[in-house]
């Protein structure tokens, strides 16, 4: 597996460096740099204390951690959240509590996964009409439930 160099600046040097937990994992864990409570239905930005210099031609996608999501309803509001190659600011994660109880995020807790993805750039070509397909304009459940 090819490794792509990504520079990281640890703003909060006391937290662990984001890392892949197991060999072959797609996402590296990001940690909360603060302790806070998130109520049901509430959205809060969680600080991670890191910044990335992502190579052009790539992005980092932030994704929920499956245990937080399935056990407590904690997810990312715009998942997957894209961090563009040109962004150099702090990585803050917009969490939402879909659960029924207030959940306390603790400093040092693993709160999201960062996945490095290759980006393809589209060349848009303006036309007067599009070609026909069997599906056409059908969408939003048009294929049925079963």
Q: Is the pLDDT of residue 90 over 80?
A: yes
Q: How far apart are CA 61 and CA 18, in angstroms?
A: 14
**Which CATH topology does 7-118 take?**
Deoxyuridine 5'-Triphosphate Nucleotidohydrolase; Chain A (2.70.40)
Q: How far apart are CA 124 and CA 54, in angstroms?
A: 25
- Of 114, 123, 105, 49, the closest CA to residue 81 belongs to 114
Q: How far out from the chain centre does Cα 66 lie?
A: 12
- Where exactly are the structural domains of the chain? 7-118
Q: Strand, coil or helix: what is 12?
A: coil
Q: How far out from the chain centre does Cα 63 lie?
A: 3
User: pTM for the complete prediction?
Assistant: 0.88
Q: pLDDT tens for residues 134-144?
A: 888 888 877 77
pLDDT at 79: 92
Q: How far apart are CA 137 and CA 106, in angstroms?
A: 46
List, in sequence order, the alpha helices (H) in 21-100. Answer: 66-72
Q: pLDDT tens for residues 10-53?
A: 999 999 999 999 999 999 999 999 999 999 999 999 999 999 99
Contacts of 12 (CB under 8 A, 6+ apart): 33, 47, 48, 49, 50
């Amino acid at each position: 597996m090819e490794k792509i160099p990504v520079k990281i600046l640890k703003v909060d040097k006391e937290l662990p460096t984001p890392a892949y937990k197991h060999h072959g994992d797609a996402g590296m864990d990001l940690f909360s740099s603060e302790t806070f409570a998130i109520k049901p239905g509430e959205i809060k930005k969680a600080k991670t204390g890191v910044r990335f210099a992502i190579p052009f031609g790539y992005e980092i996608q932030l994704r929920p951690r499956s245990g937080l999501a399935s056990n407590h309803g904690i997810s990312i509001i715009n998942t997957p959240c894209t961090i563009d190659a040109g962004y150099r600011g702090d990585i803050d994660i917009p969490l939402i509590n879909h659960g029924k109880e207030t959940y306390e995020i603790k400093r040092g807790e693993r709160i999201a996964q960062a996945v490095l993805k290759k980006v393809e750039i589209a060349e848009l070509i303006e036309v007067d009409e599009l070609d026909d397909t069997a599906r056409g304009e059908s969408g939003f459940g048009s294929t049925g439930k079963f």
